[in-house]
Chains A and B, each alone.
Chain A
Amino acid sequence: MRKSTKIIGWTGAAMAGAMLLFALVGPFLIPYDAYQQTGASFQAPNAEHWLGTNDMGQDILAELAVGARTSLFIGIATAVIATFIGGIIGVLSGYFGGWFETLMLRLIDVVLTLPFLPLMLVIAVYIGPGAFTQIFVITLVMWAGKARQIRAQTLYIKKAGPVLAAKSMGAGHTYLFRKHILPGVFPLFIPQFVAAVNAAILLESSLSFLGMSDPLMKSWGSILYYANNRSAFLTEAWVWWIIPPGVCIVLVVLAFSFIGYYLEEKVNPRLSAYVPSPKRTKQPIALQQDLLDSEVVLSIDKMTVEYPRKGVFMPVVSGVSLQVHKGEVLGIVGESGSGKTTVASAIIQQLKSPARLSVEGIYFEGKDLQKFSDEEIRTVRGNQIGYIAQAAMNALNPVISIEKQLAEAVLVHHKLPVAELNKRIDEALLQVGLDLKWRHAFPHELSGGMRQRVIIAMALINRPQFVIADEPTTGLDVMVQVEILELLQRLQKELNLSMIFISHDLPAVLKITDRLAIMKYGYIVDGGQSAELAELSTHPYTRRLIDAMPLLTQVKRKAVLTK
């Protein structure tokens, strides 16, 4: 968990604790009865009345302390009841399903759709103002949201492996509830409860402000109700009469939202991969002529990438050096977690923080990509270096049509007239074997193989000479994998592309690559010409990979290896 989350959680707990203490001991310590006139009206804060007095000469600090009791009591009582009712209905409907669930879901939807504040007002006015009424009407609208979320959680646990296993061994309902459902659902009750306290206190204050509180029970909302009805803001008294009760409400609600945030992160951490990248500055770039002369398109010199783990930076890529020559396909093979995709991201300078990259140089066409500014590297990406992502992941934007995504890839680099742009898009689609009718389609209307073709079209649409293909066949059906592989092979030959082909699928890599680098635990452990490596490598890891290839006979294996 992030440190800031912990700080937020503890701040919330401290604030809530302080308010609770104020509510418990405040009325005993403050020497005034909040319901009696204990001073002159409209006294400004002074030594006797720390927060002054209201129009009736009642001490405002005493009012706040008594109000804290009412507000916290109604808030917590409502939260307990609403979470309890919502919890029971949620667990039962999630566990048993059937007509009960259908009925409850309909009811929940109805309650959640009805405008809650007017509903509460309308019901409260018939029952008559008072603390009980407030608890009743707030519970009436609040249980539904709780029930819905707890039902979802129950459903999730019910379908989990351990429960199914216990069931298949004949476990009864009581056993399942005691051992699996309740222990699984209970942790969710707590953040639900905290959120409920929060909302209930706000609702209580609104209802009190609208005159629905017990006239004989002061709450923060009712103090403000009287202040408003007696036009406190027309006098100087607003400063000590209106501000303090509002601050109390804000502090308590904020305290519970902080605690809620902490618990939410603890039970159900938000997993977002996004972290902003630091800005890159422009640096002088020297051209490495010797690399160009030797027809080296890309050269990586001693690349190390580290990620922090428990405060210590651990390498995921260690001292990797690579070279790709013009028209050559270099394969990088390794298991997941071996660091091969990290190498690809590092080349196009797309490593996300907190990754730390240290490298002597990443030379592309003789220039060190590391030294490029944000704008300079942008003009390289997709224009000079094509990137083919894995389509099985959602690499295409789901809400933008294929045609627009292809057009965007061109327009961010070149200004083209519409007719020429259209021609370019058509060509790109035809090149990867897609019918032009798919131009206007959205990604969800395409199959996995077609999406992979679109991604290849997108990577090649600006006719880059160098392409990185990162697991382009992973997640596709076997037959489709073969098609995509053949497509890539054909395009590579036709366009004389230089390419890095990353995969964990050794047969695929052997088929398409000229040279191989085998990665394990962030190191390149073996390398050489693909065919040679397959036949002759004596490295134990390489041998294991190659011998594991599922081929029918020794003869066939030989046929594949020697192409």
Chain B
Amino acid sequence: MKPNFTAFGKKMLQYGLVLFVAITINFLLPRLAPGDPLLYFFDEGTIKELTTVQKQLALESMGLGGSLFEQYLVYLKEIVSFEFGVSIKYGLPAMEVIWERLPWTLVLIGPAMLLSAVSGVAVGAYSAWNRGKSRDVSLLTVMLTFQAVPGFWIGMLFIAVFAVQFGWFPTYGAVSIVQDGTITGWLKDVALHLVLPIATLSIATVGSNYLLTRSSMLESLGQDYVVMAEAKGVTKNRLIFNHGLRNALLPVYTHFMMNLGTLIGGSVVVETVFSYPGIGRLLYESVVARDFPMMQAVFLLITIGVIAANILADLTYPLIDPRAKSTRYGKGGS
């Protein structure tokens, strides 16, 4: 088996370009935006107290001295050594804050992603198999509606109904302030805090998984190999899963991996609604507090996450589609 290096190399160049653009956006925005650039690093009170010399020194220490090009080189050097500056709000290195928040986002996104994908694919396949019947039409309507609902609004309704009215779940955060001190108690607490955010994120993203599976499944069910398989006498379940869904999954898988970025975007609003201490909420908080170093670091990290997901998709795709591997036998004669 020989992987196709040129195609892979091209993809890598593309991802490199994405990273480069993200870094450059981070670099240019504070420098091009109107107003005192120091405003992006200190609060106004501090700036007023500074002397001109101090300001100059501060600018230089922030990498804002010298020509734009010199600044850029300094900036790149910092990025490469993972120095994203110090958060204004927390007074800590940005990376330190991020590492603390990242696990919460992962426990939120991971299950939501899985739930949304599995249910979207299952319901989509079921809907396609029953194309045109009333259950297909009603599922389609429900899913189109899910897709039209803003995630934050679902979250607000969930809080109002399930957390406040019924009191089944906590209204905000990832853990309760009061703990009984046991590990199981803590785990239960964390799980309870996760239920509503995961449900919200899943509902907000299930629509696109469903729609894609349904249309992809409709296409594969109309293919000759399904007719042939039926003529072979395969059972209904094998027809649906081995032949229809197995082929329909290919575009769904790619879409799913490539859309991790959308999901992280979705987590910004969902974490905001539930005051969930993940990096999505961190991004929002730093936007509100105008904590620019923090904000830039989170943005860059999310971009790196998206690129990683894309690379993973590229690397794993041949596992589910044999046509993506190069031919092992050479093209046969007749």
Contacts and interface: CB of A to CB of B under 8 A. Distances in A.
A379 B233 contact: yes
A114 B233 contact: no
A483 B215 CA distance: 39
A497 B314 CA distance: 48
A471 B62 CA distance: 75
B164 A412 contact: no
Contact of B148 (A4, A238, A257, A378): A257
A98 interface: no
Given A127-B33, A398-B225, A409-B232, A115 B264 contact: yes
A408 B234 contact: yes
Interface in B212-234: 215, 218-219, 221-234
Given A126-B30, A438-B332, A445-B327, A110 B17 contact: yes
B243 A397 contact: yes
A396 B228 CA distance: 7
Interface stretch (A81-89, A381-389, A515-523, A551-559): A381-389
Interface stretch (B52-60, B74-82, B103-111, B300-308): B300-308
Given A118-B265, A257-B144, A450 B231 contact: no
A119 B157 CA distance: 27
A430 interface: no
A455 interface: yes
A555 B131 CA distance: 57
Interface stretch (B63-71, B90-98, B288-296): B288-296
B323 A442 contact: yes
Contacts of A109: 14, 17-18
A137 B77 CA distance: 29
A276 B160 contact: no
B295 A122 contact: yes
Contact of B225 (A209, A395, A442, A480): A395
Contacts of A119: 25, 299
Given A205-B150, A233-B164, A272-B218, A115 B290 contact: no
A413 interface: yes
A211 B18 contact: no
**Size range of the interface on B?**
35 or more
Interface in A359-413: 374, 378-383, 387, 389-390, 393-401, 408-409, 412-413
Interface in B131-183: 131-133, 137, 144-145, 147-153, 156-157, 159-160, 163-164, 171
B238 A110 contact: no
B157 A400 contact: no
Contacts, number: 275
A274 B131 contact: yes
Main secondary structure of the interface of A (DSSP, over half): helix
A114 B157 contact: no
B116 to A, nearest CB: 17
A234 B164 contact: yes
B225 A246 contact: no
A390 B224 CA distance: 9
A530 to B, nearest CB: 26
A245 B149 CA distance: 11
A191 interface: no
A219 to B, nearest CB: 12
B196 to A, nearest CB: 12
A408 B232 contact: yes
A433 to B, nearest CB: 10
A380 B233 contact: yes
A378 B230 CA distance: 8
A468 to B, nearest CB: 8
B44 to A, nearest CB: 15
A270 interface: yes
Contact of A228 (B156, B233, B266): B156
Given A209-B152, A246-B153, A409-B234, 15 more contacts: A121-B295, A211-B287, A221-B150, A233-B160, A234-B171, A242-B156, A350-B231, A382-B232, A397-B243, A399-B322, A409-B232, A437-B329, A445-B329, A445-B332, A476-B334
16 contacts: A106-B17, A113-B14, A115-B261, A117-B262, A126-B29, A206-B269, A224-B152, A242-B153, A245-B153, A250-B145, A253-B148, A274-B226, A408-B234, A412-B232, A445-B329, A447-B331
